[in-house]
């Protein structure tokens, strides 16, 4: 067993200082991925910095028509929030379908997007909704935040404190679950925004979450499930594994897109 120091941070500055005190420290929020990888000896941080008790890192508020969700807010709290249900019910529905009850009670929105698993749900939502990720140092547009498999724009000693999500005119999410992991084999989040339709896909891309130009153009012209029928979804750049090949995932993208729009 390897030695690990545990530090419960009282503030963002405290968390940053504690992380900097180690050679390979990690922030701990829900721990849904980190603890599992540590058990498998795929990660061996010498410092664990628990950010769950930091004041201001939890909760959901509304800033006009913008949702503000603290990074340490759990999936269950997002799913049950009247504020989320009022401004973006599709996001509450997404949160309610993440993993199982234990995962939803412990996992956090900030941890999910910082990890950027290629089959996670939240990256698709934030990308489709044109969200802004707020850190201790800056604000990052979702289009610039998700850079690839398990890769984000976060820099060393940078911590997500909140996400800001503008209210969409309409939105929906549909995913085809991998039955063992409950991650998305393919998940599609659609949003009707002031700049037109935005469509983000998770679980399918070799490089992680991505937007689809063809679906966005079709839904910007006609926000209906029927509009998806005329869109060609290429299998190029889609993942293949024991569960599905690229052609199967390409077909699922259209099926899930239609379901997301139809609600």
pLDDT tens-digit series, residues 11-22: 999 999 988 877
Q: Give dist(CA 140, CA 134) in Å, integer.
A: 6
DSSP-based three-state secondary structure for 125: helix
Higher pLDDT, 180 or 63: 63
Higher pLDDT, 228 or 4: 228
pLDDT of residue 92: 98
Cα three-residue angle 5-34-132, rounded to 5 degrees:
110
Q: Is residue 61 scored above 90 in pLDDT?
A: yes
154-202 pLDDT tens trace: 998 899 999 999 999 999 999 999 988 889 999 999 999 999 999 999 9
Domains in the chain (CATH in brackets) are: 5-50 (3.30.43.10), 60-166 (3.30.465.10), 170-262 (3.30.390.50)
92-121 pLDDT tens trace: 999 999 999 999 999 999 999 999 999 999
Q: Is residue 251 scored above 90 in pLDDT?
A: yes
What is the 8-class DSSP label of residue 71? T
214-232 pLDDT tens trace: 999 999 999 999 999 999 9
Q: Give dist(CA 6, CA 40) in Å, integer.
A: 19
Q: How confident is the model at residue 125 (pLDDT cuts 50, 70, 90)?
A: very high
Non-local (6+) Cβ contacts of 78 within 8 A are 60, 69, 84, 91, 92, 95, 109
> 87, 91, 70: which is closest to 79 by C-alpha?
91
Q: Give dist(CA 95, CA 80) in Å, integer.
A: 9
CB-CB contact of 118 with 103 (8 Å): no
> 146, 135, 196: which is closest to 169 by C-alpha?
196
> 228, 158, 173: which is closest to 203 by C-alpha?
173
* Bridge partners, residue 197, by sequence: 192
CB-CB contact of 9 with 49 (8 Å): yes
Q: How confident is the model at residue 23 (pLDDT cuts 50, 70, 90)?
A: confident
- pTM, whole model, 2 decimals? 0.95
Higher pLDDT, 32 or 247: 247
Q: How confident is the model at residue 40 (pLDDT cuts 50, 70, 90)?
A: confident
> 65, 64, 99: which is closest to 79 by C-alpha?
99
What is the 8-class DSSP label of residue 160? E
Q: Give dist(CA 14, CA 22) in Å, integer.
A: 13
pLDDT of residue 1: 55
DSSP-based three-state secondary structure for 185: strand
């Amino acid at each position: 067993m390897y030695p690990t120091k545990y530090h419960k941070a009282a503030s963002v500055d405290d968390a940053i200082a504690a992380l900097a005190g180690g050679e390979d420290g990690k922030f701990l929020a829900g721990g849904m991925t980190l603890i599992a990888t540590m058990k498998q000896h795929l990660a061996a941080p010498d410092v664990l910095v628990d950010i769950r008790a930091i004041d201001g890192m939890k909760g959901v508020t509304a800033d006009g028509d913008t949702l503000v969700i603290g990074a340490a807010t759990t999936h269950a709290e997002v799913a049950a929030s009247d504020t989320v249900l009022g401004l973006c019910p599709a996001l509450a529905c997404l949160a309610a379908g993440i993993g199982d009850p234990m995962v939803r009670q412990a996992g956090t929105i900030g941890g999910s997007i910082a990890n950027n698993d290629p089959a996670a749900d939240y990256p698709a939502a934030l990308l489709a909704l044109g969200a802004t990720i707020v850190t201790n140092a800056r604000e990052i547009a979702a289009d610039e935040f998700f850079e690839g498999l398990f890769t984000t724009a976060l820099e060393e000693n940078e911590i997500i404190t909140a996400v800001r999500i503008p209210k969409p005119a309409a939105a929906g999410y549909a995913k085809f679950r991998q039955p063992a992991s409950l991650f998305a084999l393919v998940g599609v989040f659609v949003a009707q925004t002031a700049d037109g339709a935005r469509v983000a896909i998770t679980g399918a891309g070799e490089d992680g979450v991505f937007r689809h130009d063809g679906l966005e153009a079709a839904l910007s012209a006609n926000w209906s499930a029927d509009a998806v029928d005329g869109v060609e979804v290429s299998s190029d750049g889609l993942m293949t594994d024991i569960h599905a090949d690229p052609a199967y995932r390409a077909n699922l993208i259209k099926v899930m897109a239609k379901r997301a729009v139809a609600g």
